[in-house]
Amino acid sequence: MALPSPASPSHSTPLSFPSPSSLLELAPVVPVVVVENVSDAVPLARALVAGGLPAIEVTLRTPVALDAIRAIADGVPDAVVGAGTVISPEQAALSVAAGARFLVSPGWTDALLDAMKASGVPFLPGVSTTSEVVALLERGVREMKFFPAQAAGGTAYLKSLAGPLPQARFCPTGGIGPSVAPEYLALPNVLCVGGSWMLPPDAIESRDWPRVEELAREAASLGHASR
């Protein structure tokens, strides 16, 4: 599914990111962000975008997550902000209303999948078994989150899926850092990975956005090294 345009027009000069047909093609790494303070959302997102990571997954793990999504959607037009840890149809609807342009879930049920399909935005339902992948393919879903990636079998598991299920494409997330990310990105059925290593807690606490930008730039370069 193609990415939707932002809800409101940009009044700034847009950055030169490609226009992919898939969320998985935006960047080699999707930052997985936990926002504790809404005031951090916009400068954090600006740092990630400046570093070359426009797709930003804000997880619904804090009380301010929806407000953070709204702030990024309104204040950082070059960001493609999405909602992560979506586990209910209600959360899917609230996330899109707040400005989320994609949805990510750690797993899925029929009700949640129907809600994500009806949302009008791209979505990545979470899988960790072959049966879950086959069930999603049966429902017409080809792009998925593989979670928790390292604990669920890592690159060896995904490599074994590529033969019998070549049509499935994955964004592995969970336990992935810069040392193993290139191994995932080298697989034919992996187009990007999710992680938070470019957002070290001490940098967030000290609001060291230049450091976040530099770590994001290093993460963005991983795709070039592994393809």
Q: How would you class 162 by CB atoms within 10 Å of its CB: exposed for 0-12, middle for 13-18, buried for 19 or more?
A: middle
Q: How would you class 125 by CB atoms within 10 Å of its CB: exposed for 0-12, middle for 13-18, buried for 19 or more?
A: buried
**d(C-alpha 58, C-alpha 71), whole Å:** 11
Closest CA to 152 of 172, 179, 166, 181: 172
Kindly list the catalytic residues. Answer: 57, 145
Closest CA to 184 of 196, 199, 198, 169: 169
Contact yes or no for 220/53 (Cβ under 8 A): yes
Tally Cβ neighbours within 10 Å of residue 202.
8
